[in-house]
Amino acid sequence: MFFAFTMCLQGYSQLRTGDPGVTIDRTKFDSNYPQMNRWANAGVRGGIPFISSFDKTATISPGNSTTINSAIKSLSNSLKNGEKGLLTLQNGIYTINSRIEMKSNVSLRGQSRSGVKCSITMTNSDAFSFDNVKNCGLYNLTIQGSWGTPKYPWNYSLDENREFNNSNISVKLKNGTTDCWLDKLTILNSANDPMRCPADHNTFRDLIVDGCKRKAGGAEGYFFIQGRDNLVTGCEITHLRHISLQGSNVEYNVVYDNDFRQEISFHSGDNGNNLITENRITLPSDMPPINKAEGESGPYPETENNKPNYFAIMGPWSIQHQVSAHPNFLYKNKCVQNNHNYGTRTPWSDNEKVYSGPIKIGKTPTDHINNFPVYSKGVPNKGTLYAINLNNNTNIAVTNVSLTPASLSLTAGATKTLTPNIVPSNANNKSVSWLSNNASIASVNNNGVVTAVSAGSATITVKTADKNKTATCTVLVSTPNNNNAPIVSFNKPTNNKNFSLGSTVSVEVNATDNERIDNVKLFLNDIIVRQENVTPYRWADQSNNDPVLRNMHTGTYTLKAVATDNSGLTTTKYINITVGSTSSRSENNTSTMKDLNQTTLANAIKIDANNVEIVKIFPNPFSTEINITTNGEYYNSQLIDHTGRVVYQQALIGPTTILNPPYSEVPKGLYILKLMGKNSNKTQKLIRQ
């Protein structure tokens, strides 16, 4: 394996949607559509970097996943002070036999799109994994399943549409990943999904996606947007089960200027305000029809049973689905339905109308065709809902940057925002990155907010994405005078107190300081319950708060109180409690699932009167995915945090459902999983680690 590290010069090419230098055209904003500003900011902030903008490069010859991961790690370790690295894969076949772990600021590029073939041999997990990373992407290569072309081009309502049990996802962006991209990729013959994105502010540009071996029920066979503010543009997608925008975190995504040869759907429970505009959406004649000619028969059940009913743009169609929380918007799309002509072959295609919806669960063809009615506020006054400017192809480069202030004196715990002053003020790309040379003294976030941590001196550096110009600010941090750490104790419960099974454990903490208490946090077994900011510092003292302290199960628990004062000084106090033995119980037709210990986490939960296994939930604790297997009794799931707020929900479709709650909404902690059924509800405590 050969590595070549070089420095690259910034360069620019003809601007395309998603490029650096693309600007927002505020003159096109329409007050009837306040979403336009956010739509114009969808995708990678600052744009997908030009190939010539990378600071260091490396090149590798064909190999396997170990070859690629080793090169990524080596290039990542060589980067300093916010540099960006580009790893080029020379033409040939690369065997993807384990997960490719993308790293922040390191991107992969194929020597040629058709010449670099990444052949997936994995049977589960993600082939290319963007896991809690930023500012990295894939360019100009082909990703394909090694198992060949799918037998069935479409979903025909057959069990055989799940052609094998391989659950591999070709590319997945997850767990807080942001400002990442896929650019000029071909993704062929995927196993479970070609792409899943439970993440925000990412761009998918100029993709060719064709085919998937699993197109049966249970959320498989998807080009799957599950986050916010993502941009899909210039893509050609076909032969999947769905192009889907689905889930409660899905909002303000932009799908612009694509060629889809299949439907796109707002599948279930999105939060609305997504934009579908200026796309060509064609349903080929061989897609499952809703009707057949008189006397006609076909090889697949849908020609006899009139399902599934594919329309160019769809809302929910099952009682297990949920209607969007707010309207989504369709404008200037060209939709052609060659698989049927119910109502019209060209729905939602009038450029003099904006359509919004969905408004209902589509149970009939008429429901589907009427699910996106004309929006009452009319067309935007400048003829577009996606107000970007691609016409100015003359780059105005950054020539200098400075920081205000240039020096800071802070006490530990204080914060201050630095302002970058970019010259000239009309530079096309004003994106910057931030770095502290000693984060243990003073740290800085992506918005230039400096936090003083401990006594000493640190240097904060800002770096422009264009031309790599830098400026610094010296930060002097001192410890506040005459301040001691807080004094903290438990008023209740007392140490080593025993509670009966199913009890509510009410907690009260006393915290004092010679200056001011800023907050008190309570932890149960090192998982945060809740932060209290004002006295009295109490938990589980009201009927609707802190569910993790209610209906307690058998075990020994550690309660930890952490008091923090206004200077950032902390004091921690621990006590232990025990809860008695478990027993089965049912109240108001709502059963509580059997609590699992560490040795039985992956076992089935047997909860009905005849000891018949009807629900499996595993693993617990979980890191990324929650697997739920039911007997069909339950139709929806919710994750509830320590405040009682529903932070994630997903419909249960088929016997097995995989939940992928994003870290941005469901961070590490203790949650209640609620399954909603036809006749009863079930709850289970889960830990995200």
The DSSP code sequence of 247-266 is: STT-BS-EEES-EEES-EE-
Of 369, 388, 418, the position where a domain reaches its end is 369
| 656 located within any domain | yes
| 466 located within any domain | yes
CATH number for the domain that contains residue 417: 2.60.40.1080
- 667 pLDDT band, cuts 50/70/90, is confident
- 590 and 567, same structural domain? no
- 641 pLDDT band, cuts 50/70/90, is confident
**Side chain identity, residue 35:** Q
Residue 431, phi then psi, degrees to nearest 5: -65, 140
- 294 pLDDT band, cuts 50/70/90, is very low
- 438 and 556, same structural domain? no
pLDDT higher than threshold 90 for residue 292 = no
| 634 located within any domain | yes
Per-residue model confidence (pLDDT) at position 581: 54
Of 579, 603, 632, the position where a domain reaches its end is 579
- 616 and 507, same structural domain? no
- 635 pLDDT band, cuts 50/70/90, is low
490 Cβ neighbours under 8 A, 6+ residues apart = 507, 508, 509, 510, 559, 561, 573, 575
Q: How many CB atoms lie within 10 A of CB 498?
A: 11
- 638 pLDDT band, cuts 50/70/90, is confident
- 445 and 332, same structural domain? no
CATH number for the domain that contains residue 606: 2.60.40.3080
As a whole number, mean pLDDT of residues 24-42 equals 96
Q: Sheet holding 222-225: strands in order across?
A: 100-101, 126-131, 169-174, 193-197, 222-225, 242-245, 264-265, 313-314
As a whole number, mean pLDDT of residues 297-316 equals 65
pLDDT for 197-236, tens place per residue?
A: 999 999 999 999 999 999 987 789 999 999 999 999 999 9
β-pair partners for 685: 672
pLDDT for 486-519, tens place per residue?
A: 999 999 999 999 999 888 999 999 999 988 899 9
- 558 and 533, same structural domain? yes
- 359 and 406, same structural domain? no
- 213 and 162, same structural domain? yes
- Domain range for residue 538? 487-579
Per-residue model confidence (pLDDT) at position 482: 67
Longest dimension (CA), the chain: 92
Per-residue model confidence (pLDDT) at position 425: 76
pLDDT higher than threshold 50 for residue 611 = no
Distance CA 615, CA 248 (A): 24
pLDDT higher than threshold 90 for residue 648 = no
Listed residue (108, 131, 270) closest to 199, CA to CA: 131
- 285 pLDDT band, cuts 50/70/90, is confident
| 12 located within any domain | no
Listed residue (199, 204, 238, 198) closest to 221, CA to CA: 238
Q: How many CB atoms lie within 10 A of CB 663?
A: 18
As a whole number, mean pLDDT of residues 27-50 equals 96
- 433 and 333, same structural domain? no
How big is the CA angle at 146 (ends 141 and 148), to the nearest 5 degrees? 105
Q: Which two tokens stand for residue 665?
A: 């909404």
| 51 located within any domain | no
Residue 520, phi then psi, degrees to nearest 5: -130, 125
Per-residue model confidence (pLDDT) at position 680: 74
| 617 located within any domain | yes
Q: Which two tokens stand for residue 511?
A: 């915290």
List the helix and strand counts (H, then E) for the chain: 4, 55
- 496 and 438, same structural domain? no
| 46 located within any domain | no
Give residue for tokens 């560490």: 598
Share of the chain above pLDDT 90, in %: 61
Per-residue model confidence (pLDDT) at position 301: 47
pLDDT higher than threshold 70 for residue 16 = yes
| 11 located within any domain | no
pLDDT for 127-145, tens place per residue?
A: 999 999 999 999 999 999 9
- 363 and 257, same structural domain? yes
Per-residue model confidence (pLDDT) at position 11: 39
Q: Which of 37-41, 358-362, 530-534, 651-655 has the largest mean confidence?
A: 37-41
Distance CA 86, CA 107 (A): 5
- 331 and 455, same structural domain? no
- 635 and 651, same structural domain? yes
Q: Which two tokens stand for residue 17?
A: 């949607």
Number of domains in the chain: 4
Core vs surface per residue 251-270: b (16+ CB within 10 A) or e: bbbbbbbbebbbbbbbbbbb
Q: How many CB atoms lie within 10 A of CB 305?
A: 9
Of 579, 604, 639, the position where a domain reaches its end is 579
Distance CA 472, CA 669 (A): 37
